[in-house]
Structure 1
Amino acid sequence: MSTISEEQLRAAFPALKETSTSKPAVYFDGPGGTQMAQQSIDAMVGYITSGMANLHGAFATSIKTDLVLEEGRKAVADLLNCSPSEVAFGQNMTSLAFSIARSLSSFVTASDEIVVTELDHRANVDPWVTLAKDTGAEVKFLQVNPETYTLALDNLDEVITEKTRLVAVGMSSNVTGTVTALDKIIARAKEVNALVIVDAVHAVPHLSIDFKELSCDVLLCSAYKFFGPHIGIAVITASLFEKLPVYKLEPAPQQIPDKLETGTQNHEAIAGLIGAIKFIEDLGEGDTRKARLKSGMHQIDAYEQGLADRIECFLKQLPEVRLYRAPAGTRKTPTFAFTIANVNARVATTWFAQKYNMNIADGHFYASTMADKLDVNAMGGWIRIGLAPYNTLAEVQLFEQALQEFITTYSK
């Protein structure tokens, strides 16, 4: 059970104090991007207002920027349990994935197979499909079970074979919240010496993650999904990173992790990333930052799951609602995708926004393979409500009231 209070959590997010409308905004759009923590904002402003500079100079502002990157890598390393030298920054997760895919082209041949999943956001599908097209490799899919919204792993040995060179899998679905059993997939991939790419964009905001324990080769995430600015993060195991060929400028650094970071980085965003991680740290307890971060993530998880249990029970008892949720016993993040009988998803989310100032998203959320398979696009895709630690019981109760009102009015 979480020991942190709603007041403590909400105090860290200045956007929640916005009062320009008659109704305060309710942010249920966390899966698409969270609000920024005050620590993140302060770190960005502090870097900008105290003088900015590029790297590797002898003067104070340049030295400060060098230290920001160094501290950013150390903070990510403590959050995800990896080495700072394994942490690279980029424009976003998608751009980093495409860059890594291009670099891996020399590792893949026409006789190889690349495995992706039907559950994933296309950012962890299309870079590897593109790699297959460029090299002539065959693409195979781990299928989603349309009844449980989990990956079907019964035929794992048939999908991941001796020909498999790369497996890309998401840690948690950004639509259904399903947390995938990565241990089975990674273990099978390692049996056949395949590389493993893990999309943790939706998982990092909710779960404590241990890169070393996962034993994957690449882990990707984005700071704007966990209370920070728009910046992508790639963690690449040093043994792979060292031999990874990168398209880069001739004078640019050859060593890891700098060699993947083409051009000047977004230094103020990296400062903001440090602040976002500080927000998580401040929620936890322990003698080291790594321990406090792990404790802080457990606090967030416990708090969110308390609200999530209520939402799940509520949605399940509405006959007009179809909830796309894995069964009991499957780990899930506090993200809920549903449809309402005879209602286009955009009609519903527009109504929530206009009448209750609720930020609730609709669409396929780039999990387009699963959307096609589950045939939700004809009605505008899913309606998605996702929780962040700044959401409250009162907001959940208001959502319940609003949804019941909407169904009474629109669903026939």
Structure 2
Amino acid sequence: MTSFPIDQVRAQFPALARTDDGTPRIYFDAPGGTQACRPAIAAMTRHLEEGSANSGGAFSTSIETDALSQAAHEAAADLLGAEAGDIAFGPNMTTLTLSVSRALARTWQPGDEVIVTRLDHDANVAPWLLAARDSGATIKWIEIDPDAGTLRLDQLPSLLTRRTRLVAVGGASNALGTLNDVAAIAGAVKAHSDAFVYVDAVQSVPHVPTDVRALGCDFLACSPYKFFGPHQGVLWARPEVAASLEAYKVRPATIDPPAHRFETGTQSFEGQAGILGTIDYLEWLGRLIAPEAPNSRRAALVAAMHGCTAYEREIGERLLAGFRAIPGLRLYGPPTMEGRVPTFGFTLEGHHPDAVAAHLATRNIFAWSGSFYAVEPVERLGLTDKGGLVRVGLCHYSTAGEVDALLTALAELR
């Protein structure tokens, strides 16, 4: 294995030490939500214990809340390669996407076109279907290659016209793990149209470095509870694009900086504290992995993600090699760690996905079964009426020993 401080990493996650009747828990449910790191838990607790208040007041607890919120916006911006004013927080990625879809749909007319994909989580499909229905816009689809589990990007240029208003695409598939080349997609969109590009990065941000400027998109949304923090949503919006939109919000709420128009109602400041703690943890990890990196938070965060990517690639290849040795196991999506994140969807011949997940649970291995809101890809794979997929997901706190335990448990079914 590549040198990676796995013991120090695991010590930062209190949930990893829990057992059930003496049996260690193996958390392979990460695509649905990771465990929270100690700095995130401590930051949330500290905010609530030391006195909390709403923002905008002249008294000390409100001033502290404003400072906390500003620091959280700055930290999230550093994670994504952005500016603090271009970040909006919300309860989750889905809610933020629905808010943006409503604002964008106000500008659409009958005959305008929206492009979505058959690979995405429904949170980056249904909001656009609803917005198109309400505005009279037409929906077009980028199909998938069922055998490869990848997007048919060769179709994209022919789908783009002067009436294309939006292209919605995922950073990585939450069902198959497929990693999309967002920069290439955004480049193709901009070369052939004036459309905006909206990226669901919920599954990519936990596993690969993210730079919104390099990606060339106009919006990017992600979820801190998928990268070791609390249940929150984060939206990055290109400032000139956000400034052009009228968001649905109450009249006194701010519209400056532009992205903040999507922060409706009183925010979860304890959640923002947790985001700040999470990014503090990732910064610590980056400095541990790459002490020679430039002395900036952004550089440390990029180093952390590169280190996690390399480690996850190694344990992911170990898992894939084990899958190939199990008769009747069919993997969907890329066959190697090239072009994917460590999220794996598979079926096991003769066993319903729910039964496989239940068997793993008896071994204290936590995994999901079903469609995971990935309605379109599961349908295109012909698995909707067969119970969908079994899904396991690794992350940087997973171990080779846990991978081996999963493979042993699956082999028991054969």
Interval containing the TM-score (normalised by the shorter chain):
over 0.9
Deviation, structure 1 residue 245: 0.3
- Note if 1:380 corresponds to 2:387: yes
AA paired with 2:368? A
Please state whether the residue corresponding to 1:203 is helix, strand or coil.
coil
Deviation, structure 1 residue 334: 0.6
TM-score, normalisation: structure 2: 0.96
Deviation, structure 1 residue 328: 4.9
Deviation, structure 1 residue 4: 2.5
Which whole-Å CA distance do the structure 2 matches of 1:406 and 1:23 have between them?
20
| Counterpart residue number, 1:312 | 320
- Across the two proteins, how many residue pairs are aligned to each other? 406
AA paired with 2:299? A
Q: Is the 8 A contact 1:92 1:222 kept in 2?
A: yes
Deviation, structure 1 residue 378: 2.6
Question: Which of 366, 377, 396 pairs up with 2:403?
Answer: 396
| Counterpart residue number, 1:29 | 29
| Counterpart residue number, 2:275 | 273
Which whole-Å CA distance do the structure 1 matches of 2:383 and 2:7 have between them?
38
- Note if 1:170 corresponds to 2:178: no
Which whole-Å CA distance do the structure 2 matches of 1:109 and 1:250 have between them?
25
Which whole-Å CA distance do the structure 2 matches of 1:69 and 1:17 have between them?
31
After TM superposition, the structure 1 = structure 2 runs for residues 257-272 of structure 1, keeping only pairs within 5 Å, are: 257-272=259-274
Deviation, structure 1 residue 185: 1.7
Which whole-Å CA distance do the structure 1 matches of 2:80 and 2:62 have between them?
27
AA paired with 2:250? L
Which whole-Å CA distance do the structure 2 matches of 1:16 and 1:102 have between them?
40
Q: Is the 8 A contact 1:196 1:217 kept in 2?
A: yes
AA paired with 2:55? L
Please state whether the residue corresponding to 1:9 is helix, strand or coil.
helix
Deviation, structure 1 residue 329: 8.1
Question: Which of 340, 347, 355 pairs up with 1:347?
Answer: 355
| Counterpart residue number, 1:223 | 224
AA paired with 1:211? V
Q: Structure 1 stretch 280-289 or stretch 262-271: which is displaced more? A: 280-289
| Counterpart residue number, 2:181 | 181
Deviation, structure 1 residue 197: 0.1
Which whole-Å CA distance do the structure 1 matches of 2:335 and 2:109 have between them?
39
After TM superposition, the structure 1 = structure 2 runs for residues 13-412 of structure 1, keeping only pairs within 5 Å, are: 13-191=13-191, 192-256=193-257, 257-285=259-287, 286=293, 287-328=295-336, 330-354=338-362, 356-407=363-414
AA paired with 2:212? F
Which whole-Å CA distance do the structure 2 matches of 1:40 and 1:334 have between them?
23
Which whole-Å CA distance do the structure 2 matches of 1:35 and 1:5 have between them?
18
Deviation, structure 1 residue 154: 1.7
Please state whether the residue corresponding to 1:388 is helix, strand or coil.
coil
| Counterpart residue number, 2:290 | none
Q: Is the 8 A contact 1:160 1:188 kept in 2?
A: no
Please state whether the residue corresponding to 1:115 is helix, strand or coil.
strand
AA paired with 1:341? E
AA paired with 1:262? T
String of CA shifts for 1:65-102, please: whole Å, max 9, x gaps. Answer: 00111001100111100110000001100000000000
Deviation, structure 1 residue 2: 4.8
Which whole-Å CA distance do the structure 1 matches of 2:282 and 2:186 have between them?
28
- Note if 1:4 corresponds to 2:4: yes
Please state whether the residue corresponding to 1:220 is helix, strand or coil.
strand
Q: Is the 8 A contact 2:353 2:390 kept in 1?
A: yes
Which whole-Å CA distance do the structure 1 matches of 2:231 and 2:337 have between them?
34
Identity rate of aligned residues, in percent? 40
Q: Is the 8 A contact 1:2 1:300 kept in 2?
A: no
Deviation, structure 1 residue 162: 2.1
Q: Structure 1 stretch 378-387 or stretch 111-120: which is displaced more? A: 378-387
Which whole-Å CA distance do the structure 2 matches of 1:182 and 1:52 have between them?
39
Which whole-Å CA distance do the structure 1 matches of 2:103 and 2:21 have between them?
48
AA paired with 2:392? I
Give 5+ residue unaligned stretches, structure 2: 288-292
Please state whether the residue corresponding to 2:66 is helix, strand or coil.
helix
Which whole-Å CA distance do the structure 2 matches of 1:308 and 1:76 have between them?
27
Deviation, structure 1 residue 117: 0.1
| Counterpart residue number, 1:410 | none
Q: Structure 1 stretch 178-187 or stretch 133-142: which is displaced more? A: 178-187
AA paired with 2:249? K
Deviation, structure 1 residue 247: 1.2
Give 5+ residue unaligned stretches, structure 1: 408-412
Q: Is the 8 A contact 1:114 1:138 kept in 2?
A: yes
